[in-house]
Structure 1
Amino acid sequence: MSDSLRPVTRPRLYEQVMAQLREYADSAGLRTGDRLPSERDLAERLRISRASLKQAIVVLEVQGLVEIRHGGGMYLRTDSLHPEPVARLVERRRRLPDVLDAREAMETKLAELAAERRSEADLAEIDASLDEMRAQVEHGEFGEDGDRRFHAAVTAAAHSELLGDFMHKIADQIAETRHESLSQPDRPRQSLAQHQAIADAIRERDVGAAVAAMRAHLASVRRVRLLDWNPDESVAQ
């Protein structure tokens, strides 16, 4: 007879702290841009060490839910604090470098081909994608829809069926890197400017500039908080 009973596990301290912070934000009606209490105040009210509190805050920061402003406190970057399971974060952190390597290999080539082969219709779609992202960013959004549309437009402008198929097959993984990057503070506007540089080079048929601009853009995509995070510091509790 199979035994479906399993040992009861106790939530780790940092998980309990995140749950408390989530409930506090919900009950207080906090929204994007609102400030949370100081670390000292939170530690005293939760009756935990500041080191334990910091571990929970780091997980929230890695997920793009809060922003730590040095000397200025901690602020919400979303309308609620609903973190995903840490195990899922760990798995995404494991596969992220491989996806970024694949993006660099394929998208720099796509930028090169787009600069060589783009049509006026391709340029019109690239411009439309930039307009969409700009509108989203100006409204305080991350601009993910415009970002996705821009990279799809560059891929289409390359007129390479095989590379297009490759990009389609890893679209979900690319979406993860997009979200990680654009959830970094100030990143949406930086990304928009980088997209504009890529578009300008493609328009001018400047192959070298297109490749360099795409490579610089993807280098910034790599600079995400998740890759600096050491999950062992959290799961070790």
Structure 2
Amino acid sequence: MEKAARLGLERVSRPRLYEQLVEQILAYIESAQLKPGDLLPAERDLAERLGVSRATLAQALVALEVLGVIDVQHGTGAVLARRPSVASVIKGLRAHQSRLPEIVEARSTLEVKLAALAAERRTDQDLAAIDTALDVMEKEIHDGDRGTHGDELFHQAITAAAHSSVLAQLMAFIAEMILETRMESLGQPGRPEQSLASHRKIAEAIRAQDGASAADAMLAHIDLVSDVELLR
């Protein structure tokens, strides 16, 4: 090992399980000659074929969804959106992985301040929009979905309630990147329910016009939703 180090060689790390699964799913897509619009096997069936748990498979499917390879539709399943090369997907996966910490950093900076400002400046109309977003997310989860639309509406409502045009523009600028983390996070087992409960704490602090508590609750929320398999 010391000799290898002197020669400038490094130990080759094994690909992570989700990368191996992504490769196997893409191999299946190729062998089955699936075309865009075709449906992949049900998660239970696909997990059995690959010899992994459904929870583990779900992480690989979320990664493929983030990269736009599949479209996971509630009540239908995973639909193939495009047939990329394995190399391009793995490259995109690793680029996505490297981006996540910086996206989390940006969210921690912007959204914590937005929550504090929302507590100070919110109107009755803002509170109504926040409540509507919570209701939408709750219904989505109750119907077996991940709650991504309600989650998006909630954070948009917080941004609007802060009444800061500059911060709103900054949030709009990183909106596409936040979508990556939203899909990644809400694909974690049990995360939609946890995220909704976290949203309710933020909303309570904003309703009480407690800026410090709103900021703390938002920071705790971002810490929660940033705990994803891809960064472990």
* TM-score > 0.5, shorter chain as reference: yes
Partner residue, 1:9 = none
Q: Tell me the CA shift for residue 61 of structure 1.
A: 2.9
Partner residue, 1:47 = none
TM-score by length of 2: 0.71
CA–CA distance in structure 2, aligned partners of residues 214 and 35 of structure 1: 37
RMSD: 3.3
CA–CA distance in structure 1, aligned partners of residues 157 and 22 of structure 2: 41
Partner residue, 1:210 = 214
Map Cα deviations across residues 85-129 of structure 1 (whole Å, 9 max, x no partner).
121111111111111100000000000000011000000000000
CA contact (8 A) 1:65 1:81 kept: no
CA contact (8 A) 1:62 1:225 kept: no
2:172 counterpart letter in structure 1: H
Partner residue, 2:108 = 104
Which runs of 5 or more structure 1 residues have no equivalent in the other structure? 1-11, 43-52, 67-77, 229-237
Residues 81 and 28 from structure 1, CA distance in 2 versus in 1: closer, same or farther, beyond 3 angstroms?
Answer: closer
1:97 counterpart letter in structure 2: P
Which runs of 5 or more structure 2 residues have no equivalent in the other structure? 1-18, 65-75
CA–CA distance in structure 2, aligned partners of residues 202 and 110 of structure 1: 11
CA contact (8 A) 2:110 2:167 kept: yes
Partner residue, 1:235 = none
TM-score by length of 1: 0.70
Instruction: Report the secondary structure of 2:78's partner residue.
Output: coil
CA–CA distance in structure 2, aligned partners of residues 117 and 102 of structure 1: 22
* Match for residue 24 of structure 2 among 6, 17, 28: 17
Partner residue, 1:198 = 202
CA–CA distance in structure 2, aligned partners of residues 15 and 114 of structure 1: 41
- The number of aligned residues is 192
Map Cα deviations across residues 121-174 of structure 1 (whole Å, 9 max, x no partner).
000000000111111111111111111110000000001111011001111011
CA–CA distance in structure 1, aligned partners of residues 145 and 225 of structure 2: 17
CA–CA distance in structure 1, aligned partners of residues 44 and 174 of structure 2: 33
Identical counterparts, % of pairs: 39
Instruction: Report the secondary structure of 1:64's partner residue.
Output: helix
CA–CA distance in structure 2, aligned partners of residues 60 and 81 of structure 1: 14
Q: How does 1:67-106 map to 2 (within 5 A)?
A: 79-80=77-78, 85-106=89-110
1:126 and 2:124 aligned: no
CA contact (8 A) 2:121 2:162 kept: yes
CA contact (8 A) 1:21 1:81 kept: no
